[in-house]
């Protein structure tokens, strides 16, 4: 599995709201099982619970801004392991922020995640799920002309890999995109973790007190150096795609970005190794830099933010940037 935003702590209020959201869907699923509808909607104020089909499996989601006539909508794709509420309720809060400003959005669980049926799958196997979710968005938003796909971490990667294949997609919002290779991550750790540790007073205090474990530290550092220099082969669970041979994930994403003709909003956290790996990749690739330097790309950085934008001010800033950008073209 790729990144794990679910490891971020949740406060009791978050867990309570997750439970309410989940109970709503369980009631909807049970109600619809008896009549076998392909797409069903249960409406609360400005929100609509949807159940729609994908390759014979039932997917569930919430449409915020239900019934709004709009030319553009937002599809919020979930990273794994995660479901439609998001860490710190970010996806729910983003969807409601957009809806309050007249932008409809659908956040959903793809197959094997949350309350959706089917086998668990990686972000590289959700093309059909995204396509079916866009179908559901078009079926329930009057006058919709195009869609923006919004994703965090490996959901951003899924969005970019998909976008050029569907003419209905006019833009993608990519937050801390997942471009992982073992070599790339090892280099990030060397540059941004081990170098910083050398100037950490607590490290030298342990050395003075005789508490520093030299053998374990040397073994860990040796493993990281081997990965960083490419002397240790990758396990390849994320970075290889069997149908295309041994093509690295960053190369496939670069190709997808080159093929996509729509707009791109890139948002990067400052305190996040995944975002840093992406920055390092771009810094070393002339083509990545050229693609991201074009007029169709807008970039924002949040220097203090962590991977899942855990603080309210970070989430609010992301929501404002998203809403303003979606309405700008």
CB of 82 closer than 8 Å to CB of 5: yes
| Domain tally, the chain | 2
188 lies in which domain range? 182-228
Query: What residues contact 174, with CB distance under 8 A and at least 6 apart?
Result: 151, 156, 159, 160, 264, 265, 266, 267
Instruction: Establish if 243 belongs to a structural domain.
Output: no
Instruction: Establish if 238 belongs to a structural domain.
Output: no
Same domain as 193, residue 172:
no
Closest-CA residue to 86 (of 302, 237, 307, 327): 307
Torsion of CA 39, 86, 272, 279, to 10 degrees: 20
Same domain as 169, residue 30:
yes
Same domain as 12, residue 90:
yes
Same domain as 73, residue 13:
yes
Give pTM, 2 decimals: 0.74
Look up the CATH number of the domain holding residue 118: 3.40.50.1820
Instruction: Establish if 41 belongs to a structural domain.
Output: yes
Closest-CA residue to 137 (of 168, 166, 105): 105
Same domain as 187, residue 174:
no
Of 228, 263, 290, the one marking the end of a domain is 228
Closest-CA residue to 169 (of 196, 146, 137, 186): 146
Instruction: Establish if 71 belongs to a structural domain.
Output: yes
Same domain as 139, residue 262:
yes
Same domain as 22, residue 109:
yes
Same domain as 313, residue 222:
no
Same domain as 120, residue 10:
yes
Instruction: Establish if 275 belongs to a structural domain.
Output: yes
Instruction: Establish if 250 belongs to a structural domain.
Output: no
| pLDDT per residue as tens, the chain (329 positions) | 455 444 333 333 333 334 445 445 445 544 444 334 445 554 456 899 999 999 999 999 999 998 788 999 999 999 877 899 999 999 999 999 999 999 999 999 999 999 999 999 999 999 999 999 999 999 999 999 999 999 999 999 999 999 999 999 999 999 999 998 765 445 554 555 545 555 556 644 554 566 545 466 455 545 544 444 554 443 333 333 344 445 899 999 999 999 999 999 999 999 998 999 999 999 999 999 999 999 999 999 999 999 999 999 999 999 999 999 999 99
Instruction: Establish if 234 belongs to a structural domain.
Output: no
Same domain as 107, residue 95:
yes
Instruction: Establish if 236 belongs to a structural domain.
Output: no
Same domain as 54, residue 26:
yes
Same domain as 22, residue 82:
yes
């Amino acid at each position: 599995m790729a990144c794990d935003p679910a490891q971020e702590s949740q406060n009791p209020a978050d867990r309570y709201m997750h439970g309410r959201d989940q109970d709503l869907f369980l009631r909807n699923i049970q109600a619809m099982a008896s009549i076998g509808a392909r797409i069903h909607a249960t409406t609360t104020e400005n929100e609509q619970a949807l159940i729609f089909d994908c390759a014979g499996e039932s997917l569930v989601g919430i449409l915020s801004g239900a019934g709004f006539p709009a030319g553009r909508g937002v599809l919020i794709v979930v990273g794994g392991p995660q479901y439609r509420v998001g860490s710190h309720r970010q996806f729910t809060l983003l969807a409601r922020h957009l809806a309050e400003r007249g932008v409809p959005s659908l956040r959903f669980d793809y197959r094997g995640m949350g309350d959706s049926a089917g086998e668990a799958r990686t972000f590289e196997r959700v093309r059909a799920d995204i396509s079916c979710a866009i179908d559901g968005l078009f079926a329930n938003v009057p006058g919709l002309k195009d869609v923006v796909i919004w994703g965090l971490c490996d959901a951003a990667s899924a969005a970019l890999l998909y976008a050029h294949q569907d003419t209905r997609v006019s833009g993608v919002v990519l937050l801390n995109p997942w471009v992982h290779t073992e070599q790339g991550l090892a280099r990030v750790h060397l540059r941004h973790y081990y170098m910083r540790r050398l100037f950490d007073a607590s490290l030298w205090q342990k050395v003075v007190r005789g508490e520093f474990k030299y053998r374990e530290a040397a073994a860990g550092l040796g493993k990281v150096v081997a990965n960083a220099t490419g002397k240790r082969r990758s396990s390849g669970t994320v970075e290889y795609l069997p149908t295309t041979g041994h093509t690295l994930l960053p190369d496939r994403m670069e190709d997808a970005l080159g093929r996509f003709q729509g707009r791109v909003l890139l948002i990067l956290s400052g305190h996040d190794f995944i975002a840093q790996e992406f920055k390092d990749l771009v810094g070393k690739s002339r083509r990545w830099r050229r693609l991201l330097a074009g007029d169709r790309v807008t970039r924002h950085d949040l220097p203090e933010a962590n991977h899942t934008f855990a603080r309210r001010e970070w989430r609010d800033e992301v929501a404002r940037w998203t809403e303003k950008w979606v309405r700008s073209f």
